Amino acid sequence: MTDTRTELSLQLDERHTADFEMIANGGFAPLEGFQGSEDWESVCERMRTAAGDYWPIPITLATDLDATAGDVVSLTSDEGKPLGRLTVEEVFERDARREAELVYGTSDSEHPGVAAIYEEGDRCLAGSVEAESLPDHEDAFMRRYLTPAESRKAFEERGWKRVVAFQTRNPIHRAHEYLTKAALETTDGLFIHPLIGKTKAGDIPADVRMRCYEVLMENYYPQDRVILGVFPSKMHYAGPREAILHAIARRNYGCTHFIVGRDHAGVGDYYGTYDAQKIFDEVDLDELGIQPLFFEHSFWCNACEGMASGKTCPHENDQHVFLSGTKVREMLGRGEKPPHEFSRDEVAEILIDAYKEDDNS
């Protein structure tokens, strides 16, 4: 009998392109495709897949493409590059508002992650993906691109048994440098793994952040103890649940430890200051397969004459150098360097130049 099905194709948006890449490169293992209704329900309700694996945020493909179970859909990236195909196993309707409340802790459409799933809609295609290629990235990122298999091999070649990962979507300032080096004191190697996928408006562009990371590595980190990679995932801004997701992904990349700061993957005032750390009390760390390292907010203390935190510094706030992201952006926009105690001069120069270029474009 002749197969009369129409050949289907779908151009993924930027967020779904990032999800495809993380599934295809092994960063989202054990996922082998976009999740279906049973997984969606289980992940939302109990942070586990239907098969029982820890998984905190649904990875679904919302689309209005007219497809049915059994169809094979050719997928292209948001930039039009052929990526592979999806074998549709299920078409289902999710409840985006319920997902927002359970996963993000709010149904407020002002939350960027919630706004994104509302915009995508409820109708989803689920099924396994077969990858023929990965999305393209700028040269600055590809120089540092490692798949999970490649990063595990790199750690093994260096003899690293205890590897700590640092997730960031911002330039590394003094506080980040302080906590990464503190973590490095008790591990064999540091994997700086900045996110290069879709972020929210106002975040520092990824290529600018890469230059900041590289100048710090060249001047302030031991070359044989640190690797800079790139993490091609998108930001959900899901706070505590996203901290779990980022930990699972870094486990897949071969890391044994993962730094969790005071407001990991947070946005606005939607999450408590240390909620992203407290959520790890709800999981079995042996089963999770990676050890979180918790750090309090750190700062430069003039009285201590160095970096400190609430755990190590006895002095009042008027001795602490701390600037909000808004304050730093205002200073950079005026061509002013943030204080030396807040940011390395080399990093500040890169950011000032980037702001000038943005103003002149």
User: Which stretches of the chain are assigned E, i.e. beta strand?
Assistant: 8-11, 33-34, 61-62, 72-76, 82-93, 123-131, 163-168, 189-194, 226-228, 257-260, 291-294, 298-301, 306-309, 320-321
Q: Which two tokens stand for residue 180?
A: 């990464």
Amino acid in position 48: R
In the annotation, is 5 catalytic? no
Cα torsion 314, 316, 322, 324: sign: positive
Q: Residues 152, 170, 211, 329: which is the catalytic one?
A: 170
Q: Residues 169, 241, 251, 344: which is the catalytic one?
A: 169
What is the C-alpha separation between 255 and 260, in angstroms, rounded? 14
Amino acid in position 114: V
User: Which stretches of 144-265 are assigned E, i.e. beta strand?
Assistant: 163-168, 189-194, 226-228, 257-260
In the annotation, is 169 catalytic? yes
Radius of gyration of the chain (CA): 21
Active site residues: 169-170
